[in-house]
């Protein structure tokens, strides 16, 4: 089982059509919640810290390797890309332990409806933000 891929598929089953920015923020919040409960990180992602935001190196490429997930790009009338996001395209069983599933559900319930700016602000204002991220 690839835990990170299972979490991504579970998030997309609850919140369809998400772009990497939003998915990375939700994953960070899940990692923080897990850290609070277990004093350890849940995922293997390395978060690159910046003062007002962060990113996960190679994250969009990782998303393209998750089974049952597809990158969707929308184009304008001139053929220029205007929006990209990831969509769950196959109904595969999602194998997450019940405690992890519940934690992901809690994060989605708390943060899933926020705008991009609100979601990012929720992350960067957490007390653990700078402590949790690598150098």
Determine the Cα angle at 18 with ends 3 and 128, to 5°. 60
Asked if residue 102 has pLDDT above 90, the reply is: yes
What backbone torsions phi and psi does residue 43 show, to the nearest 5 degrees? -100, 170
**pTM of the shown model:** 0.92
Q: How far apart are CA 51 and CA 39, in angstroms?
A: 24
Across the chain, mean pLDDT equals 93
pLDDT band, residue 127 (cuts 50/70/90):
confident
| Percentage above 70 pLDDT, the chain | 96
């Amino acid at each position: 089982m690839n835990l990170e891929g299972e979490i991504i598929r579970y998030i997309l089953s609850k919140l369809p059509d998400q772009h990497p920015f939003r998915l990375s923020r939700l994953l960070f919040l899940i990692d923080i919640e897990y850290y609070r409960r277990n004093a350890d990180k849940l995922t293997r992602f390395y978060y690159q810290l910046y003062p007002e935001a962060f990113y996960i190196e190679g994250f969009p490429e990782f998303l393209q390797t998750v089974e049952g997930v597809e990158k969707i790009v929308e184009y304008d009338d001139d053929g220029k890309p205007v929006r990209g996001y990831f969509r769950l395209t196959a109904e595969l069983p999602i194998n997450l332990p019940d405690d992890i599933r519940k934690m992901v559900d809690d994060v989605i319930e708390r943060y899933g409806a926020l705008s991009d700016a609100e979601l990012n602000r929720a992350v960067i204002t957490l007390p653990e933000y700078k402590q949790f991220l690598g150098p």
